[in-house]
Structure 1
């Protein structure tokens, strides 16, 4: 028996039981469900927002960009589903391997920044209502969105570096695989992780917490006299709940676990149980991170600025366009009945 096995520690994950079956099943099932829910919810929301684009506002601009970001994110998931259904065999080529990983993370961080921008917009509207009219405009919101897309695209570019590779032990072409134990890429990945952790999670989350603390404090200190003020307060509270839940359920576990996992991989010796737990936690938290696209439609519906009125407006427009052709056909039907009546009289 190997000495390392007796001591319960291993220098390499090769001697430990594989979690591939667990990984393939969880990823393929979770990504399929996230794709369906995220695609339907965000496509519907984007359709409503585009149809009512004339009622544009800064919040509307952020919601549209968030919906587009979520749609692009879920569109990368079918490739991952195919990969894990085939039990870790990649057959779509190196370019799609690189670009699908890249787009997932671009849109993940775009979602975080769009939520942050929406929170700041709501904060300024409630805490500084007079200055809000001058500071927060549609054109400025568009510039902010452009900056977010560019920043996320540039900072996620390291994900383009690693593409498909052949696993010599199984002779399979791999993609989406985490680094192996004591990999020579670890120092670079750890540095990139800390950069992403600070810029992509910690700073946005602290900004959101400060904004929400200011919103809650302002709402508690004011007497909400009119129905409109009460409605705005309820929208703000719903937004606080949904965004915080998204961060706590989707983004926080992923960023915390990713940091722990990369540090864990730099250890010289670890037990099989530790490795198994760590690898399974990678699977679960990445699924949670991808699931953020399912939470965002709730944000549009419950706290979006006039989103439900936009939905009613679109329904009315669609109903009118359906009824118009039938209204045009009524005189024709009437004239046919009159003609039939004349023939019967003869």
Structure 2
């Protein structure tokens, strides 16, 4: 837990000041959106398809990240002073790595699934069962665990000016085997899936334009899904890659000059908020992939708004009588009855 083997080491005060309020917002939005998504998966989805299985695993990946966020929030509030010990430090870093790798993998699988359905509609891979999709998901999780398990095998705690720091990317003078493996995985899991996603997206758009089907509602939804995946992937994962390369370049070509190196490492630490943003953006993807998701999300939001309206009316001194709210599935209307007055709201 010493910092004798570190290069231009410093506490990232600026990064923690930026991370703290942003991560709080991302935690609230991510927990809310993915909790609703999980509730929909468990209680409201009647028809399951392979794509649904992959989406469920994407939700699981987001919850892995959410479980570790309270520890990282406390860490930021203390200006990088870890008080939870070695085991929880490893667990926190492992969960962040798992979320990143799992999100990348399942976004890639969803893209490949869409690619075969549009570009090769008669391919046998389009006929796989839900059970087969679940087996594929299990295999992916085994690979994810294997690639990230090195974070559980060694300590990442370091002492610096009466603080205990917990970082997976430490500023070591020399690279250990685990540090080299971490960089290899970190870079590979970005560029390889990005190439797959871009290839599949461009092929799908080209195929649809040749068929002149871009105005079809289902086809437009497919294109929107692909665009969202590309945008989310680039926004969430490219900043950390670019910042990581900047750190390596400065350390290699400007060795001994600590100021630019420390600035670059602060920027790199800040880019983690884009990785956390992934758990906030995923529920938007669910709405575009499944109309039932969008419909249920709307109903949940409408219910919350109606409950808020009911509370406001009950607190009004001029309000008298009772309120009865009834939802009619066949007529797709919401009926609100107050005393002898009745109002109908169309969805």
TM-score (normalised: structure 1) = 0.78
Distance 1:299 1:50, change over 3 A: same
- Structure 1 residue 188: deviation in Å? 4.6
Query: Is 2:138 the partner of 1:146?
Result: yes
1:176 partnered with 2:132: no
Work out the CA distance in 1 between the residues paired with 2:137 and 2:299: 26
Find out whether 1:26 has 2:15 as its counterpart: no
Structure 1 or 2: larger helix share?
1
Aligned to 2:240: 254
Residue in structure 1 matched with residue 192 of structure 2 by the alignment? 203
1:285 to 264, 271, 287: 271
Q: Is the aligned partner of 1:66 residue 2:58?
A: yes
Bigger fraction of residues in strand: 2
RMSD: 3.0
Give unmatched runs, 5+ long, in structure 1.
1-10, 317-321, 325-346
Structure possessing the higher radius of gyration over alpha carbons = 1
CA deviation map 1:283-331 (0-9, x unaligned): 2222212211111111011233643355579999xxxxx969xxxxxxx
Whole-angstrom CA distance in 2 between matches of 1:288 and 1:240: 20
Q: Distance in 2 between matches of 1:166 and 1:283?
A: 16
Identify the match of residue 161 of structure 1 among 153, 168, 174. Answer: 153
Q: 1:289 to 1:150 in 2, by over 3 A?
A: same
- After TM superposition, the structure 1 = structure 2 runs for residues 179-258 of structure 1, keeping only pairs within 5 Å, are 179-182=170-173, 184-185=174-175, 188-198=178-188, 200-224=189-213, 230-258=216-244
Residue matched to 2:315 = none
Taking CA–CA contacts closer than 8 Å with sequence separation of 6 or more, which of the two structures ends up with the larger relative contact order?
A: 1
Query: Are the counterparts in 2 of residues 59 and 305 from structure 1 also a CA contact under 8 Å?
Result: no
| Structure 1 residue 255 displacement after superposition | 2.3
In structure 2, the CA distance between the partners of 1:259 and 1:136, relative to structure 1 (3 Å rule), is farther
1:81 paired residue number: 73
> What 5-or-longer segments of structure 2 have no aligned partner?
1-5, 303-324, 328-347
Shift of 1:127: 1.6
What's the TM-score once normalised by structure 2's chain length? 0.77
